[in-house]
Structure 1
Amino acid sequence: MTPPALASVSGFTPEDLTTSLLIGSIVLLIAVAAVRLANRSGLPTLLIYLGLGLVVGESGFGLRFSDAVLTQVLGYTALVLILAEGGLTTQWSAIRRSVAPAIVLSTVGVLVSVAVVGVAAHYLLGLSWTVALLLGAITSSTDAAAVFSVLRRVPLPSRITGLLEAESGFNDAPVVLLVLALAEQAAPDGAPHPWWQVAAFAVLELAGGAAIGLVLGYAVGRVIKRVASGSSGLFSIGVLAIPVLAYAVADLAHTSGFIATYLSALVLGNLHLPHRQAVRGFAQALGWLAQIGLFVLLGLLASPTRLVHQIVPALVIGTVLLLLARPLSVLVSVPWFGIRWRERIFLSWAGLRGAVPVVLATVPLTLGTRNTEWIFDLVFVLVVVFTLVQAPTLPWVARRLGVVDESHTLDVELESTPLEELRAEVLLVRVGTSSQLHGVEVQELRLPRDADVTLVVREGHTMVPTRRTVLHRGDRFLIVTTETHRADVIRRIRAVSDEGRMAGWRRHGTRIDRSIAPPPRHT
C-alpha cells in the first residue's frame, strides 16, 4: 500500500495505477489486433494508432491531455527505441550500396525540401521567413517504416529498400538539428545566427554523434560479445542498452544523439552477436511498443476541433511537399548514383511522413515560440491526409513503374540455437509473376555448394523438392545456406530470375561462375 503522505505528494494513487493499467492494456490489445487490419487494408498502422489516441482523447472518452513538453520527452524516447530497432535489424550488406545516396538525400535533399516548402509557406500562407522555413524543416523527415508497412506484399529491389531504410535512419538527426536552430531563432529571446554558422554547427554535431555511435557500438559490442550471458533475454537487454547509452553520451557531448543511436545499433546488428534472433525479436517488440505509445500519445495531444481549421493549409503545404519538394530533393540527390528515372519517381512518391514531423511540431511549443500553436495541428492533418493519399497507391505505383523485385528474398528468423552454432541462414524466395525462375528445375539454380532448397510451398501445399522439381510462378521456397554464402545465394537467385536458367554462361557456353556451382552428383 502507498502511504497517504506519499500518495498526496506524488498525486498518483494505486487507484490511478489500476485505471492506467486498464486503459493501457486495452489500447495495447486493440493496437496489436489492428496490425492485421492494416496489413489487409494496405494502410500504415500509424493511422490506426493516431485514431486510437483521438478516440481516447477529449473528443472521445474525454481523457484530456495537453502537455507538449511531456509529449516531446516521451517522443524522443520512442524515437531512440525506434532508431535502435531499425539499426539492429538492418543488414549492412542490404544498404551498403545505398548509403552514399541516402546520406546525400538526408542532407542536400532535406535542404532542398525545406527551401521549397519554406518559399511556398511564405508566399501562399503569408508566414514570416523564419516560421515558413521552420514548417519546411518539420515536414521534411520521411518515415520508411510507414512505406514498408504497406509494401509487405509488394517486394522492392534491394537498392530501393536499402535507400529508403538508410534515409529514414540518417535524416532524423539533421532534421532535428535544423528544427531546433530555426525554432530557437523564432523564439521571443532568440538571436539570429548566420547561415554558415548554423551549417558548421550542424556538421560538427553530426560528425561528433556519428563518431560516438560508431566507437561505442563497436567497442562495447565487442566487450558484451565476449561476456555474453547464457540467457538470451538478459543479453538482449544489454545489447539494447548500448544504443541508449550512445544517445545519452552524444547528447551530453552536445552532438547528435539520434545519429549516434542509429549508427551504434547498425554496428551492433552486424557484429554477428550471439542470440541474434532473440535480440532482434526483443528490439522489434520494443520498437512496436514505442510506436504504439508514441502515436496514441500524439493522438491524445491533438484536438479535432482545432484540426478542422488547418485542413486547407495542410492540403496546400502537403501538395507542395508531395508534387514539388520531394521530387526536386530526389532529382538533386540521387541521379549521380545510377538511380533510374523510374526508381526516382517511386522514391518521390514513397516519401511518407510519420511520427517524426508530428513530434518535432511540439518543439516550438516547448521553446515558447509565439503564434506557432497551429503548427502541430497542421502537421498532424498533413501526415494523416497524405498518408491516406500515398499509402494505398504505393503498390500500384511500384507495379506500374516496374520497380517490383520478382525474386524477392527475405531472411527467415528462426529462434534456434543449433542454427547459430552451425552459422546457418534460412532464406525465403518468392517467384514473381514475370520472374524467369518459372520453369527452372531446382538443380538448374546451381546454388553454392553449401546451400540447398529444402521446401517448396505451392498453392497452399508444401513439398520437399528433388533436384528435378520445377519451380512455378507464385511458388515460395526455403533455402538453407551457410552464413558465408548467403550473399552468393541471393546474387544467384536474382541472376536466374532476371536471365533464366542460362544465367552465368558465356555465349560460347563456358560457365563463368564455377566457384559457386556444385560438383556433379553421381547416381
Structure 2
Amino acid sequence: MTFTAENILLVGSVLIFSSILISKTGYRFGIPTLLLFLLVGMLFGSDGLGLQFNSASDAQFIGMMALSIILFTGGMDTRFQDIRPVLRQGILLSTAGVLITTVLTGLFIYYITAWYTGSPTLPMLTSLLLAATMSSTDSASVFSLLRSQKMNLKENLRPMLELESGSNDPMAYMLTIALIQVISSGSELHVGLIAKDLLVQFFVGGVVGYAFGRFAVWLINRINLSNSSLYPILLLSLVFATFTITDLLKGNGYLAVYITGILVGNSRLAFRKEINTFMDGLTWLFQIIMFLTLGLLVNPHEMLDIVVIGLLIGLFMIIVARPVSVFACLLPFRNLSGRARLFVSWVGLRGAVPIIFATYPVLAHVEGSHLLFNIVFFITLLSLIVQGMTIAKVARLLHLDLPQEKEGNEFGVELPDEIDTRLQDLTLTPDMLAGGNRLADMNIPKGTLVMLIKRGNEFLIPNGQMELHPGDKLLVMLENKKPAET
C-alpha cells in the first residue's frame, strides 16, 4: 500500500492515533515516547503492514520543519537565568564536543570496518561522514525525556544538557555538509576552509536569530489582531521565515530558530498562554510525524546485515567517544563533580537528527550512503533503548536527581506578563487556622491577594468573613515575587 492523495488523511490519522495509544502504555514501563513513535513507523512500514514510503527528500523536508518547531519551542522554554551559569560549558560541548566525537568515532569506524570482514571497508572520509551525522545529541529526544519525566537534576545539569542539545546541531550539520562536498567533488579536506564556513554559519545564524527574536517580540506586543488565536500562527510564520532567510544567507537555520525561541521565551509577551499551548501541541504533532516518517523510511530487514558493526560503533560512541569528549570539554570547570560529568556523558542521546542528517548523503548519491543510513538508524535505536530508558535510573544511581518541581498552580489560572506578580497555591493546615478560621483572621502580608478558594471540587469566591477549613486550597497573587507567608 502506498500513500495517495485519497488515503493520506486516513492512513496518517491511523498512524498518529496508534502512536499515541501505544506511547501511553509504553510510558508506564519507562520506554521513551519517541522510540515508540519510531517503532510504530517501522511496524506499519514495508517490512511490517506494507505501507510504502521511500522518499528521502520528503523525509528530510518533514524533518527540517519539525526540527525548526522543536528547537524554537525548546528555546522558548529555556530561561536565561538557568543557562547563564552553564553557557560556557554548553557552548564547548556543542562545538568542541561534536568535533571530538566526530574525529574519535570516524577513526574507530575506519579501523573497525577494515578489520571486520562482515562489513565493507569504509574510506577515511566516508567514516568521518558517518561519524559526523551522529555526532550531535538529539534535541527532540533530550527535551522530550527531561520534560516529559519532569526530571530535575543537581549541579544545574538540566539547563546544560538542554543548551547543548539545542545548539549542537549546527556543528554536526556543517561537518556533514562539508564532508559530503569534499567526497562528491573528489577534492582534499581543507580544515581552514571548513573552519571558515563554520564561523560564517554560526555568525549569520546568531545575527539573524537575534534580529528575528527581537522583531517577533516587538510585533506580537504591538500588533492588534481581531482574534487571539492568530498570534501563535503569526509567530509560527516568523519561525519558518527565520529558518529560510538564514539558510538563504548561508547561515545555520537551526541555530537561528533556537536563538529566536530563547529571546521570545525570555521577553514580556502578549498572549503567552495561547502561544505556549499552540506551540506545545504543534511540537508534539511534528515530533510524532517526524519519527513516524523516519520509521516508515527504513527497511528493517536491511539492518540485519549491519547489526554487528552497528553494535560495535554504537557501544564505542556510548562508552568511549561521548565520555572522552565530555570530560575533555568540561576539564576547565572544577566545580562540576565527577558524578555530574559521568551523567552528562550518559545523556548522549541519538534520535531523529542523526537520521535526518543521514538522508543528506543519500540525496547527494554518496557511495555507500544507504549503508550509512542503516547504520545510523540502528545506532539511534540502540541509543534510545540503552540510554533513553535508563536516564532516570542513572540520575538516581549517581544521586543527582532532585524532587520534581510543580509547574503552574492547581487552579489553571495564569496572569499576563505585563503584571509584575506571580500566582501561588497554598494548602491550609490546622496550624494556619489556629488564630481563627476566617480569612480576616489570617496574617496575610501586604501586597498579597487571595483570589480563589478550592474546597474539594468546588471553587469559592473569597471574602473576609468566609470560614476556612483545613485542606482548603488558596490561590494567592503576590507582588514583586515575594513568597507567601501565613
Work out whether the TM-score is over 0.5.
Answer: yes
Matching of residue 396 in structure 1 with residue 393 in structure 2: yes
Shift of 1:239: 1.5
Which moved further from structure 2: 151-160 or 131-140? Answer: 151-160
Give the equivalent residue in structure 2 for 1:512.
Answer: none
- Distance across 1 between alignment mates of 2:136 and 2:321: 12
- Distance across 1 between alignment mates of 2:432 and 2:331: 38
Give the equivalent residue in structure 2 for 1:514.
Answer: none
Give the equivalent residue in structure 2 for 1:155.
Answer: 152
- SS of equivalent to 1:17: coil
What code does the residue aligned with 1:42 have? G
Identity score, percent: 31
What are the residue-to-residue correspondences of 1:307-322 with 2, within 5 Å?
307-322=303-318
Aligned partner (choices 67, 85, 107) of residue 95 of structure 2: 107
- Count of aligned pairs: 455
- For residues 207 and 229 of structure 1, do their structure 2 counterparts lie closer, same or farther at Cα, with a shift above 3 Å needed? same
- Contact kept, 8 Å, 2:200 with 2:250, in 1: the verdict is no
Which moved further from structure 2: 156-165 or 125-134? Answer: 156-165
Unaligned runs of 5+ in 2: 115-121, 435-443, 461-468
- Distance across 2 between alignment mates of 1:456 and 1:416: 12
Matching of residue 206 in structure 1 with residue 202 in structure 2: yes
Matching of residue 256 in structure 1 with residue 256 in structure 2: no
Give the equivalent residue in structure 1 for 2:279.
Answer: 283
- Distance across 1 between alignment mates of 2:154 and 2:432: 24
Shift of 1:411: 4.4
Shift of 1:98: 2.1
- Distance across 2 between alignment mates of 1:249 and 1:233: 25
- Contact kept, 8 Å, 2:74 with 2:258, in 1: the verdict is yes
What are the residue-to-residue correspondences of 1:457-468 with 2, within 5 Å?
none
- Contact kept, 8 Å, 1:141 with 1:353, in 2: the verdict is yes
What code does the residue aligned with 1:128 have? P
- For residues 302 and 412 of structure 1, do their structure 2 counterparts lie closer, same or farther at Cα, with a shift above 3 Å needed? farther
Give the equivalent residue in structure 2 for 1:437.
Answer: none
- Distance across 2 between alignment mates of 1:96 and 1:455: 36
- Distance across 2 between alignment mates of 1:284 and 1:413: 19
- Distance across 1 between alignment mates of 2:386 and 2:447: 46
Give the equivalent residue in structure 1 for 2:215.
Answer: 219
- For residues 99 and 88 of structure 1, do their structure 2 counterparts lie closer, same or farther at Cα, with a shift above 3 Å needed? same
- SS of equivalent to 1:282: helix
- Contact kept, 8 Å, 2:183 with 2:366, in 1: the verdict is yes
What code does the residue aligned with 1:371 have? G
- For residues 448 and 396 of structure 1, do their structure 2 counterparts lie closer, same or farther at Cα, with a shift above 3 Å needed? farther
Shift of 1:296: 0.8
- Contact kept, 8 Å, 2:152 with 2:403, in 1: the verdict is yes
Shift of 1:413: 9.6
Which moved further from structure 2: 137-146 or 372-381? Answer: 137-146
- Contact kept, 8 Å, 2:414 with 2:423, in 1: the verdict is no
- Distance across 2 between alignment mates of 1:407 and 1:24: 35
What are the residue-to-residue correspondences of 1:221-370 with 2, within 5 Å?
221-229=217-225, 231-337=227-333, 338-370=335-367
Aligned partner (choices 42, 50, 64) of residue 62 of structure 1: 50
Deviation sequence 1:169-198 (CA, Å, 0-9, x none): 1001111111110112122x3423410111
- Contact kept, 8 Å, 2:220 with 2:270, in 1: the verdict is no
Unaligned runs of 5+ in 1: 1-11, 430-439, 472-476, 490-516
Give the equivalent residue in structure 2 for 1:122.
Answer: 110
- SS of equivalent to 2:7: helix
- Contact kept, 8 Å, 2:395 with 2:401, in 1: the verdict is yes
Matching of residue 78 in structure 1 with residue 66 in structure 2: yes
- SS of equivalent to 1:41: coil
Shift of 1:307: 1.1
Shift of 1:405: 1.7
Shift of 1:401: 0.9
- Distance across 1 between alignment mates of 2:100 and 2:8: 44
- Distance across 1 between alignment mates of 2:283 and 2:399: 32
- Contact kept, 8 Å, 1:105 with 1:330, in 2: the verdict is yes
What are the residue-to-residue correspondences of 1:389-428 with 2, within 5 Å?
389-406=386-403, 408-411=405-408, 416=413, 418=415, 422-426=419-423
TM-score, normalised relative to structure 2: 0.84
Matching of residue 131 in structure 1 with residue 119 in structure 2: no
Higher relative contact order (CA 8 A, sep 6+): 2
Give the equivalent residue in structure 2 for 1:21.
Answer: 9
Which moved further from structure 2: 311-320 or 417-426? Answer: 417-426
- SS of equivalent to 1:232: coil
- Contact kept, 8 Å, 1:426 with 1:478, in 2: the verdict is no
Which moved further from structure 2: 135-144 or 299-308? Answer: 135-144
Give the equivalent residue in structure 2 for 1:146.
Answer: 141
CA-based RMSD: 3.5
What code does the residue aligned with 1:136 have? A
